[in-house]
Structure 1
């Protein structure tokens, strides 16, 4: 029988513009990891395994990062899964606890990024996104840089199919920038009007600069534990249970659909969400607060539909009816999301976990969602993988 898995400690750094702060990835990892351990009230010696995520860095950077917390000889696994790297580390740590291989595991993610749009590191071999890009180029004229091209193309397709408007996408940017005003960890904390979002630099399709996530430096961490560990250390009062979790990679439909929306992962999200809802015994209607992967505003709207918050094609209606902010049916990205909180690739999934843990504990300060009892996390990386996790407070 699988063990129950609980988040007992979380921590993160403030997300920063690359180069704006004098620190390196070991400093980031030490700060986030120490906060998570202190939050759990345990010493590093209690950690039996660690899974460390980063996208840009040399091999065994995970060991170097965790060595800031201690040197105990435990297994440390380096994880790289594009933008879903942090939640992949979380998934692996949860698997270790669920299977009984560890009673206490650490998931940690960090990123030290270059300024500007994402680029490739190795140019003497095929890029992992090449198949996706070639498939998309058959549907819409190719543009650079690749990431906003792909998500912008999906947004254009949604507009053509369902009549979604540029204003509806822009309203997501307005919402997330407004949410980030109350998040001290966010890279940006300034609000913008709808006109300011619409009038900012055009990137591709409906996307403008204020609807795109920035490159960021930062780190996040989570301590995961078994029920026996929670009981032994008296952590039930702060523990948050992972009640459902699934990772899904690209499906045949990703390419067979000949759709930009499928190429950016909508089917992966839909499939993973169905698995998680079944595991957790919930539906989308039971969820109170969501942290989802708004690398671009277009993806947030597409994800509303893939998660089952509304029928396909109705994402724009959710936006217009303010159903995804405070006072609506769900609060989506109370942290400000990737658009405003920032997106250090390896840390994003663990920052989402931190935010939702605080929300379910009722300790999210001015961002607190009243009465939050069920939380959902969505983290996607093209090429591709999506990880979705459902959380509830531990039974008391």
Structure 2
């Protein structure tokens, strides 16, 4: 398709807590991606940096900060901020530049040096931001929000804490096979059950950590890829960057409507289902075409919700799909073969790029012991504060 762009190279800095500046991680990932692509840094015509607001001024101008750290050579620079969706929107920006003919080769980088503990709201008071209102008016930090979400799944769909624990067990097993993951130990359901309660019913091992890390991609037009000797590159076929649609302006919750005759469900899709739907429409594909998925598992219960929002199963059947083994390595549609945020933790501007790195390795058939056999189509999805929703569909 004419709107495809090629993934020439991918690279990562392993996730962890290293105590260094985000640019150091970004340079490691960028150089790895350039080496993978066989591209000299001086041939890169544009750098798109996913921002990290916790990095101070260098983080706000992440594109230029990474370009400076690599050695200024005149490349166009762009910096993109969309909270947890920053990396996917950086990919969308790079893709647009390539398709517009503004650059043949674009380097996309996201890197973060995350603090320990909860992320503090940044940018001052934001009374028009539903997420800020949740933090400050309701006092619902992310773990409390995840706990409420899990409670809703228990009440509406009959999920159990044991189901949530199995998501962690699955992702930890995959992460144990990933050299870039921060947590590489397998865990059991008993390990999850013994971990401290954070926001009932979720325990410590149900919720992802905060991490340092970086990921990078080298993207190009297909003509450039072919001239560079890559005859069948992994291609990005769709990038969805959506916001909620009025009147469905809640950012994350499914319909709360009951069976009461007085309850009327608003029209249209909620935000989370619309993220994947927009990508499917652009790519001319659907959930039945997927071989692998990388989803934004801030908590174990949220991963189950993604199964449904991606159309992998009917609403309410996420836990059933998990129990059947369909989303495990070797299953019908493996989800988070990288190990997900359960194994990596959050390095906010890097994680959506890292998802596409994993899709690329899977579609190339180079994912090692976590390889999904015969993978030819994959999706990554995530969402960020203030209504940012993003998805990427990659094909081979």
For residues 130 and 25 of structure 1, the distance between their equivalents in structure 2, rounded to whole angstroms, comes to 25
Matched residue SS, 2:39: coil
Q: 2: CA distance between counterparts of 1:353 and 1:319?
A: 23
2:259 corresponds to: none
- Using the alignment, how far apart are the partners of 1:186 and 1:46 within structure 2? 30
Matching residue of 1:228: 223
The corresponding residue for 1:85 is 86
Aligned equivalent of 1:27: 24
Q: Distance in 2 between matches of 1:172 and 1:108?
A: 29
TM-score by length of 1: 0.90
- Of 222, 236, 241, the residue aligned with 1:242 is 236
- The 1-side partners of 2:302 and 2:348 are apart by 16
- Of 387, 390, 393 in structure 2, the residue corresponding to residue 390 of structure 1 is 393
Residue matched to 1:154:
149
Choose 112-121 or 186-195, whichever is displaced more.
Answer: 112-121
**How many residues end up aligned between the 2 structures?**
380
**Corresponding residue SS for 1:121:** coil
The DSSP-based 3-state class of the residue aligned with 1:221 is strand
Where does residue 14 of structure 1 map in the other structure?
A: 14
Q: Which residue of 2 aligns with 1:178?
A: 173
CA positional deviation for 1:186: 0.3
Partner of 1:41: 38
Pairwise CA RMSD of aligned residues? 2.2
CA separation in 2, counterparts of 1:190 and 1:115? 21
Match of 1:200 in 2: 195
Correspondence list, 1:1-396, <5 A: 3-17=3-17, 21-55=18-52, 56-57=54-55, 58=57, 59-123=60-124, 126=127, 128-130=129-131, 133=134, 142-144=138-140, 146-237=141-232, 239-255=233-249, 260-261=253-254, 267-393=270-396
By how many angstroms is 1:68 displaced? 2.2
Cα distance in 1, alignment partners of residues 277 and 35 from structure 2:
35
CA shift for structure 1 position 252: 2.5
Q: 1:281 to 1:188 in 2, by over 3 A?
A: same
Q: Which secondary structure does the structure 2 equivalent of 1:222 belong to? A: strand
Structure 2: stretches of 5+ with no match in the other structure: 257-268
TM-score normalised per structure 2:
0.90
Question: C-alpha displacement at 1:127, in angstroms?
Answer: 7.8
Structure 1 unaligned segments of length 5 or more: list them: none
